[in-house]
Amino acid sequence: MPNISQRGQIMPASPIRKLVPLSNEAKARGTKVYHLNIGQPDLPTPQVALDALKTIDRKVLEYSPSEGLLSLRQKLASYYKRFNIDVDIDDIIVTTGGSEAVLFAFMACLDPGDEIIVPEPAYANYMAFAISAGAKIVTVPSSIDEGFALPPVERFEALITPKTKGILICNPNNPTGYLYTQKEMNQIRDIVKKYDLFLFSDEVYREFCYTGAPYISAFHLPGIEEQVVLIDSVSKRYSECGIRIGAIITKHKELKKNVMKFCQARLSPPLLGQIVAEASIDAPAEYMLMTYNEYVERRKFLIDGLNKIPGCYSPIPMGAFYTVVSLPVDDADKFCEWCLSDFEYEGQTIFMAPASGFYTTPGVGRNEVRMAYVLNKTDLTNALKVLAEALKAYPGRTI
């Protein structure tokens, strides 16, 4: 039998999805599973988006341009201007979700063996996309004890080698919910400028910043405009993960030409998804305020509840809708599996993402999980009760 590729063998399994079979088995037994493991909002998609889908009047569902529909890119350029991100339609390439945006950015910028520095914990699929491009993720650990603040600049500089091609940040951050300050963004800019690097900036959660401080985009940093590769997606802000529409935004003309080659090879982004995304940009302000306020309430409710459970600790996330929580357990991977395979409380259990999958440093995060507060407060109430009972019953508890 022929061997599979080394690339396939080293590709990491998703820490968010690898426990799905156990979740399915629990549901088959009749157990109610509360999904805190995945960033799938339960809030409604904007009505204008659903109406656009229902009223499509086309004789042919044709290919769109490889760079995306002109009308969508025009709408996106106007949307970014609301955030003082000054880009035009020629700087925007529509992709099949933010995931393809990251992959194509890596494929166009990085050669095999090139390195990208990423603060960890980090979104697990960054590693998968780097492996796909033959590149290497080099991580700078941040600490839950420091609220996952940006590690000192000296730690970044110590990792820079002739192979270093860029720095990747997610702001607001998945999985930690951390929001980088102006000072921290300036420090990143200075490193990028000093060493002539790309700055890959994943900003898909920009609507969900809870500090009251201004949102800082990589495009707000003077002096590195052509080094910024901004990653975006409509999935989270409009609760439409399934339409698979994202974007790469760059002012680097040669990079854009290279990205377009990959776009042409995959032909076009989803036509129906683009139609829905374009309509979503016209979602009324009331919709965006409703989603924002709902996440603010859920965040407070979940974090307060977690920190009342003996042995649990979560810093207060300042953005997105995730938090990383330390638990009084010997091994969070085993605990998450055990909750699905061996435990239930009043016919219920919880599905969490082990945080070890968001780290590459061996042994780090072994007692941490990522939780997404994408459930309503009734479900969060039940999930917190189940977690508290699970921690009492777990054989590997440490308190």
Report the alpha-carbon distance of residue 291 to residue 301 in Å, rounded: 15
User: Going from the N-terminus, what domains does the chain have, and what CATH number goes with each?
Assistant: 6-44+286-393 (3.90.1150.10), 47-280 (3.40.640.10)
Q: Which of 170, 187, 212, 217 is nearest to 318 (CA)?
A: 212
User: What are the residues facing 246 on neighbouring strands?
Assistant: 95, 233
CA atoms of 274 and 264, how far apart (whole Å):
17
Q: What pLDDT does residue 114 have?
A: 98
Q: Report helix, strand or coil for 144.
A: helix
Query: Which positions of the chain have pLDDT values less than 50?
Result: none
Q: For 29-48, what is each residue's pLDDT tens digit?
A: 999 999 999 999 999 999 99
Note the pLDDT of residue 389. 98
Q: Which pLDDT does position 84 carry in this prediction?
A: 97
Tell me whether the omega of the peptide bond preceding residue 121 falls within 30 degrees of 0, making it cis. Answer: yes
Check if the beta carbon of residue 268 is closer than 8 Å to that of residue 245.
Answer: no
Token pair 């810093």 in the structure block, residue: 315
Written as one letter, the residue type at 197 is: L
How many C-beta atoms lie closer than 10 Å to residue 27's C-beta?
14
Question: φ and ψ at 317, to 5 degrees?
Answer: -70, 140
Q: In whole angstroms, what is the distance from residue 352 CA to residue 344 CA?
A: 14
